[in-house]
Amino acid sequence: MLKLGVNIDHVATLREARYRGQPWGEPDPVLAAQISEAAGAHGITAHLREDRRHILDRDIWRLREVVKTRFNLEMANVPEIVAIALKLKPDIICLVPEHRLEVTTEGGLDVVANETALARTCAQMRTAGIEVSLFIDPDERQIAASARLGCEFIELHTGSFAHEFNDAAGRERELDRLTAAARQAHSLGLGVNAGHGLNYHNLAALHRVPHLVELNIGHSIISHAVTVGLSTAVTEMLRLMENYPG
């Protein structure tokens, strides 16, 4: 069964647009996580950025208390956030690149260039009983390096697939890249997740990619929830994920 992790960052983005600097505010990302779980989500994802532009420290501690499925903490490989993760003990972390001027995470982590630093963090998380995923482009060298680090998962960056989706040739090229990457990762013993830019229109095409364990989706679900409600938005996304052949 293909699992759904709901990313609640954009709920916090909306809150911070009005209540930045306040110890309260709406909408509440923690409540959004609870609604998503009640609707059938298999996990909750939140990104604690260095600049704290959306998810805040108080959010992740409350999430750790209330999430009943699987809590995935997205984070940069920097000492401050690593230290927080080791205390928080989420079920899994996903290491991502982070740039101050980006609107959301753009592009995959360069595991090859940062293998030594990533190895140290992976070892710390392994000792703490926290699984590790690396958010990477569907690139052979990056997958091989991820396997060398001994992490449990990779998350394939599907941004290029989403960008090319309306162009038939581009869509096929990106699906081929994702398929090859998933097969390579699986052969090396890595669990394969995927995310970025996935929505209600392009998700069905991703059924061609084998060995997927979980899709992490945020913006499309939260956007759709504005008109249909969050519970319905999650349910409709789960319906699109049914019958994934694996």
Pairwise CA distance, residues 245 & 242, whole Å: 9
99: annotated active-site residue = no
Pairwise CA distance, residues 241 & 4, whole Å: 8
**What would the DSSP string read from start to end of the chain?**
--EEEEE-HHHHHHHHHHHTTSS--SS-HHHHHHHHHHTT-SEEEEE--TT-SSS-HHHHHHHHHH--S-EEEEE-S-HHHHHHHHHH--SEEEE----TT-SS--S---TTTTHHHHHHHHHHHHHHT-EEEEEE-S-HHHHHHHHHHT-SEEEEE-HHHHHHTTSHHHHHHHHHHHHHHHHHHHHTT-EEEEESS--TTTGGGGGGSTTEEEEEE-HHHHHHHHHH-HHHHHHHHHHHHTT---
Q: At residue 218, what is the residue type? A: G
Catalytic one of 42, 47, 157, 224: 47
10: annotated active-site residue = no
CB 231 within 8 A of CB 37: no
Catalytic one of 74, 155, 174, 214: 74
Residue whose token pair is 């709406």 = 26
Catalytic one of 174, 196, 214, 224: 196
140: annotated active-site residue = no
Residues classed as catalytic: 47, 74, 196
